[in-house]
Amino acid sequence: MKLQQEARAWVIRLDSGAVTEEDARAFTAWCRQSRDHARVFSQARAIWTAMEPAARGVLSQEVAHRHSYGQRSETRSGRRAFLGSAVAASVAYLAIRPPLDLWPSVSELTENLAADYRTGTGEQRSVFVAGGLNVEMNTQTRINVNDVAPEIAAVRLLNGEAEFDADRLTVEKVVVQASSGAVYARHARFQIRYTDRDVCVTCTRGSVEVRLGALGTAIYAGQQLTFNDNMLGTPALADTSSVTAWKRRMLIFSQASLAEVVQEVNRYRSGKLILRGERLAKQKVQASFSLDRLEDVVALIRDVYGARTTSLPGGIVIFQQA
């Protein structure tokens, strides 16, 4: 993951039009570190090149804008300056709106840097926060630790998925905020998933209280509850084995649509799996996958569902219904 990020940074730098001799020497040294460095850069460069139509779109819009105001270049140097600014605009466009979400946008990078703790794609980590709270963070997760009061361990889940273990809590209680709600616990273990507008809380040991504004309800071990900004759901039985599968480095799907499977796998896998075709996307899946062998998902879609497969550099795989 780190190597791919470095390669993308070099692609952007080399296309900026402001490369110095020192940059060239540094890039050469970076490439010579290993064959993987050169290979990953080549893949990143191929993706960048494939996105050239988007850059041309920015350029053509700028040209149209200038002509609408009667602006024109008087000299060759003026044209060069204009093209230089267009290249810069192209870089900015792809940084703000990355094609196919292949790399983090500027806003995402800013948000990640602002978080107290974070995990990247496919990364998992464990952190201890004040008050004896242990937090197991899943892929693409960000949390902040809040200083509320000495007797409270307070955390905000900004996005992602994490397990909170308060079995060895040394303070009065733990409070985990997510979206507009909060989970209150004491000597309990629970998971929170916040990957879209809904927040799902699953209790695996003890009990917790979920609050949304003036509303509140308790859930017990083996139960889960979903809420969002406008609705507090009701407790329901949970398949805790599937919910906690990521801790065993597994993904378990029971009658999930292929679109849902691909969306989940993309949270853990570098690159991008892309489905083309409504019928293919609606296919039901009953399967489990190891996080260490996510390419099995590619084989499943190709061999079991008969999808035509197109592989591109950078881990991009496009599936089309036969």
Question: pLDDT category, 39, cuts 50, 70, 90?
Answer: confident
Same fold flag, 115-238 and 249-320: no
What is the dotted CATH code of the domain comprising 249-320? Answer: 3.55.50.30
pLDDT above 50 (res 29) = yes
Q: Are 240 and 204 in contact (CB under 8 A)?
A: yes
pLDDT tens digit sequence for 194-203? 998 999 999 9
Q: What is the Cα–Cα distance from 16 to 27, expressed in whole angstroms?
A: 14
Supply the pLDDT for residue 247.
Answer: 95
pLDDT above 50 (res 296) = yes
Three state DSSP letters for 189-239: EEEEEECCCCEEEEEEECEEEEEECCEEEEEECCEEEEEECCEECCCEECC
Query: What value does the mean pLDDT take over residues 221-238?
Result: 95
Query: What value does the mean pLDDT take over residues 110-130?
Result: 81
pLDDT above 50 (res 127) = yes
pLDDT tens digit sequence for 232-244? 999 999 999 999 9
Supply the pLDDT for residue 82.
Answer: 46
Q: What is the Cα–Cα distance from 36 to 71, expressed in whole angstroms?
A: 47
What's the predicted TM-score (pTM) here?
0.69
For residue 80, give the 3-state DSSP assignment.
helix
Q: Which residue has the higher pLDDT, 146 or 282?
A: 282
Supply the pLDDT for residue 87.
Answer: 47
Query: What are φ and ψ of residue 122, in 5° steps?
Result: 80, -5
Q: How far is CA 64 from CA 68, 72, 81, in A?
A: 6, 11, 17
Supply the pLDDT for residue 311.
Answer: 86
The strand pairing partners of 310, in sequence order, are 318
Supply the pLDDT for residue 97.
Answer: 52
Q: What is the Cα–Cα distance from 107 to 291, expressed in whole angstroms?
A: 28
Close Cβ partners of 290 (under 8 Å, ≥ 6 residues apart)? 249, 250, 296
Query: What value does the mean pLDDT take over residues 210-233?
Result: 95
Amino acid present at 62: E
Question: pLDDT category, 50, cuts 50, 70, 90?
Answer: low
Query: What are φ and ψ of residue 166, in 5° steps?
Result: -105, 20
* Listed range (77-91, 102-116, 281-295) with the worst mean pLDDT: 77-91
Percentage of residues of the chain with pLDDT beyond 90: 46
Element (H, E) at 260: helix 258-268
Q: Are 287 and 245 in contact (CB under 8 A)?
A: no
Long-range contacts: 239-248, Cβ < 8 Å, 24+? 240/202, 240/204, 243/191, 243/202, 243/204, 244/163, 244/191, 244/204, 245/288, 246/124, 246/138, 246/139, 246/161, 246/291, 247/136, 247/163
Q: Where are the domains of the chain?
A: 2-103, 115-238, 249-320
pLDDT tens digit sequence for 58-107? 445 544 555 555 554 444 444 444 444 544 444 454 554 555 555 554 44
Query: What value does the mean pLDDT take over residues 111-139?
Result: 86
Supply the pLDDT for residue 282.
Answer: 93
Q: Which residue has the higher pLDDT, 159 or 270?
A: 159
Token pair, residue 12, equals: 């952007």
**CATH class in words for 115-238:** mainly beta
Supply the pLDDT for residue 51.
Answer: 55
Element (H, E) at 61: helix 52-68
Supply the pLDDT for residue 60.
Answer: 52
Nearest to 232 by CA among 209, 265, 204, 257: 209
Work out the mean pLDDT of the chain and round it to a whole number.
Answer: 80
